[in-house]
Structure 1
Amino acid sequence: MTSTPPHQSILDRPFVLDLFAGPGGLDVAGHRLGVPSLGVEWDRSACLTRYAAGLDTLHADVSAVRRESFESLPPEINVLAGGPPCQTYSVAGKGAGRKALEEVKKFIARLMAGDPDEEIDKELKNLSDPRTALVLEPLRYAIQATRSPNRGHRPYDVIVLEQVPAVEALWVRYAEVLQKIGLPDGTKYNVVVDVLDTETFGVPQTRSRAVLIARREGLGEPSLPDATHHAYEAREWNRRNGGDAAAVPAQPTLYDAEVPEPAPHPDADDELKHWASMGDALAEPVGTHLGRKTPFLVRSNYGSSGVPGRRGVRTDRQPATTVTGRISRFVVFEPVGDHPDIVREGPRFTMNEAGMLQSFPPDYPWSGTAKAQQVGNAVPPLFGAHLLSAALGLPAPAPEAMRKPWAPATEEHRAKLRSHGCGAADDCTARCPRPE
């Protein structure tokens, strides 16, 4: 475990339980802040990445841990964090979760009233998509903490949650019940909720997230992190730089290498920095990353502005579009020799580069299969560091800290982590979740 940083936190020794931990976005953030964490993750490949990165992990189903082994969790955990799977709520999915929002809100009320878990579990099975119910798990963990003899029935001090914007309505409901009703044992929290844009925190990618930060009463009023960078405004960019990048044809034949630098923002005299671009993240060599030649142009693999046949296109001087599991399919175009007005398809983003667009450190040891999906599902570490810093009262993180190369775990350390997380040093065991 890393030690607590030498600056003032609202907690003497913050220790994070990261639910739905993925490949480690929030845990990398905690590592850079000097805050220890334990992640619970269902996906085998994401766990392999975490072990390779040296992150404490339980390869387990979040719901099963709550039901069957909550008492085995470290009692000193005092921060609950997580980003439940978003597929059913995402605008990119079928929307089962959006249709079930009102029904899920009713379950929230029942949980706060102390209804039996068995009864609620039985009814949750009737939801059209079982993943929809996972958004309730953070609340169920918060309640379970107050019932845990191993913890001395002590509630979590801080709660940090993030999800796609469509879940903001549920976070608002979380806030209402945590502040007005309180957990079944009477514990109440002060809560803030909002939708934040990751590029306003230095992430070289446009991505909006609904976030919740809660502090137990007596620990002060929570606040959202302060933006450090200007928001990226696509219309403003297109107006200033001579056209709509998304209008580039499916097979680009022209690229204006003399695109001017972005005009000063109207509020350029304030302290906010210009948003970070793909070129900012990838052009300079760092660690084993040799740097990507600029200029370049990227065409995403999914529709732009809600039009499936229209592929979003951006230049290296813009932030990436939202990084998803399709990042490996993004097509990158580069100028041809001494003819910058003509482009050809170049090498696509490596997983290292895709991770860097998510603000993961260079050399992060992506492992297992479906690496692109791991990258796309992750919390951007720089954004996560801002959330944790605001929640704990720590100074805002420096973007440079995230760019430092990541030292992978030794084979011995990796084996030790897997022995704890899976039950064996070199393989999964019967206690690990089955993929099906």
Structure 2
Amino acid sequence: MNSPGSQVHHLDGIRILDLFAGPGGLDVAAHFLGFKSIGIEWDRNACETRYAAGLPTIHADVSVMRESRFDEIPKSVDVLAGGPPCQSFSVAGNGAGRRALDTVKKFIHRLVDGDDEAKIDEDLHALGDSRTALVLEPLRWLLKAIETEGRDPYRAIVLEQVPAALPLWEVYAKLLRGGEGRLKGVKYEAECWELKTEQFGVPQTRTRAVLVARRPGRGAIEPLEATHLPFDLHRGKRNAAQADMLPTDSAIPGAKQRWLSMAEALDAASKLKSSPVDMSRLRTEGKMKFFVVSNYGSGGDPKNRGRRLSSEPAFTVTGKISRNKVYKSSAEYEAEKPDRFTIPESGVLQTFPHNFPWSGNDQAQQVGNAVPPRLGMHVLSRALRGNTPSDDELAAATTWPTVPRTTTDELRIIGCGDQSRCPPHSHRVPRPRRKPAP
């Protein structure tokens, strides 16, 4: 496997196209599995992280790329992946996607049946949240590949979203199996599941709806094999000692390990060479012991905000993780003297390498928007190889290779060029505020 920093021809041999690529959760997963990828991402800050990490990127709108720049995608691409923005489907969002779920299902059928796309776009716009329509983009990219001369249908498709979108993936899967209408007889084996990240070694509780599809010939797609036990979210059924009471069972062949705690993940990262993760501030008498108070209130009362112990997995890592408060003791809590997770620490809780080169602004949002790379490794490995990642691959995924500045500069040229084809106003630099006169 080549390091991203040693690639001479950055677009040679690329197999995976990552729509809505963000800072690179799926791309990081692909790298450690030995696959090259290219991402399309409209957020300039996420692009800066990707360039610094050596990840080939096109800074553009996914829809614009499909409509007018499709020929720029390398013809070596045979895997379509992506996680459309989830805000309108997320519990934390305004719910437009959930309320329109049945309507969006109809749009999926209309696309495959060959209805006028301009009319579909007009009707989608009437839903009131343009992000809801983005969940249709992977299907539109597949249809574009099928209908474009000189292009082959993707051999595999991997999509992820919040759990509320699972019914849409089920519609996708049914249509992909059927191969009717604009699919022109192109059929896939397709399955979708709800996956809990802590059951795959991610030190946080987060549930994702995942679709995996691939062209026939390799048999049915087997469900992913969880490597860790689920975490009991019901506080009434667990206590502060839960983490110490559950055995790891790692010595028993075939037994699942206990979920990974925040303390275990952060402690391991802090011990790696030249690690930016320094947990000494959260140690007491040599032991890492803290608790995290969520940014999200309960019923509007901040006192009811959830807590997680350091011996437990983190809350779902969102773009607001920098607002979570970390305390070493009840005394610090009472005195309102909180600590905060740093960006590298937040990235580790997402299973990004400890030294991943987060860049640009809004880094907490970048971290929260990403697919956890460790989960991505399990999903991509199942889709592309039909197996699970090896222990060596998972172990290697804790450290990111050094990327030369020249590589970053070259990738920025590929992604942004003269900036004329980037999303409008995305490179606008805000004017500094004038200081008031004394």
Q: Which residue of 1 aligns with 2:8?
A: none
Q: Which residue of 1 aligns with 2:266?
A: 282
Q: Is the 8 A contact 1:51 1:409 kept in 2?
A: no
Q: 1:74, 1:316 → 2: CA distance?
A: 45
Secondary structure of the corresponding residue to residue 275 of structure 2: coil
Q: 2:388, 2:28 → 1: CA distance?
A: 17
Are the structure 2 counterparts of residues 260 and 375 from structure 1 closer, same or farther at C-alpha, using a change threshold of 3 Å? closer
Q: 2:25, 2:119 → 1: CA distance?
A: 34
TM-score norm. by structure 1 comes to 0.86
Q: Which residue of 2 aligns with 1:414?
A: 408
Q: Is the 8 A contact 1:71 1:148 kept in 2?
A: no
Are the structure 2 counterparts of residues 235 and 118 from structure 1 closer, same or farther at C-alpha, using a change threshold of 3 Å? closer
Are the structure 2 counterparts of residues 95 and 145 from structure 1 closer, same or farther at C-alpha, using a change threshold of 3 Å? same
What are the equivalent positions in structure 2 for 1:25-424 lying under 5 Å apart? Answer: 25-151=25-151, 154-182=152-180, 183-235=182-234, 239-241=238-240, 261-264=244-247, 271-284=255-268, 285=270, 286=272, 287-292=274-279, 293=283, 294-303=288-297, 310-335=304-329, 345-392=337-384, 393-398=386-391, 399-404=394-399, 406-424=400-418
The residue type paired with residue 279 of structure 1 is A
1:278-333 deviations in Å (ceiling 9; x for gaps): 00111232232354131111111113599776211111100000000110011111
Q: Is the 8 A contact 2:249 2:256 kept in 1?
A: no
Deviation at 1:238, TM superposition (A): 5.2
Q: Is the 8 A contact 1:43 1:435 kept in 2?
A: no
The residue type paired with residue 208 of structure 1 is T
Deviation at 1:179, TM superposition (A): 1.0
Q: Name structure 1 gaps, 5 residues minimum.
A: 4-12, 243-258
TM-score norm. by structure 2 comes to 0.85
Are the structure 2 counterparts of residues 34 and 266 from structure 1 closer, same or farther at C-alpha, using a change threshold of 3 Å? closer
Are the structure 2 counterparts of residues 156 and 416 from structure 1 closer, same or farther at C-alpha, using a change threshold of 3 Å? same
Deviation at 1:397, TM superposition (A): 4.3
Deviation at 1:147, TM superposition (A): 1.4
Q: Is the 8 A contact 1:213 1:223 kept in 2?
A: no
Q: Is the 8 A contact 2:354 2:398 kept in 1?
A: yes
Greater strand fraction, Structure 1 or Structure 2: 1
Identical counterparts, % of pairs: 49
Are the structure 2 counterparts of residues 273 and 307 from structure 1 closer, same or farther at C-alpha, using a change threshold of 3 Å? farther
Are the structure 2 counterparts of residues 341 and 365 from structure 1 closer, same or farther at C-alpha, using a change threshold of 3 Å? closer
The residue type paired with residue 138 of structure 1 is P
Q: 1:29, 1:341 → 2: CA distance?
A: 37
Secondary structure of the corresponding residue to residue 297 of structure 2: strand
The residue type paired with residue 378 of structure 1 is A
Higher deviation after alignment, 180-189 or 380-389: 180-189
Q: 2:369, 2:28 → 1: CA distance?
A: 14
Q: 2:170, 2:410 → 1: CA distance?
A: 40
Are the structure 2 counterparts of residues 313 and 88 from structure 1 closer, same or farther at C-alpha, using a change threshold of 3 Å? same
Higher deviation after alignment, 383-392 or 102-111: 102-111
Are the structure 2 counterparts of residues 142 and 301 from structure 1 closer, same or farther at C-alpha, using a change threshold of 3 Å? same
Q: 2:219, 2:14 → 1: CA distance?
A: 16
Q: Is the 8 A contact 1:89 1:164 kept in 2?
A: yes
Secondary structure of the corresponding residue to residue 45 of structure 1: helix
Q: 1:308, 1:103 → 2: CA distance?
A: 37
Q: Name structure 2 gaps, 5 residues minimum.
A: 4-12, 427-438
Q: 1:265, 1:305 → 2: CA distance?
A: 36
Give the paired residue count: 402
Higher deviation after alignment, 113-122 or 91-100: 113-122
Deviation at 1:368, TM superposition (A): 0.8
Q: 1:170, 1:307 → 2: CA distance?
A: 35
Greater helix fraction, Structure 1 or Structure 2: 2
Are the structure 2 counterparts of residues 215 and 290 from structure 1 closer, same or farther at C-alpha, using a change threshold of 3 Å? closer
The residue type paired with residue 407 of structure 2 is H
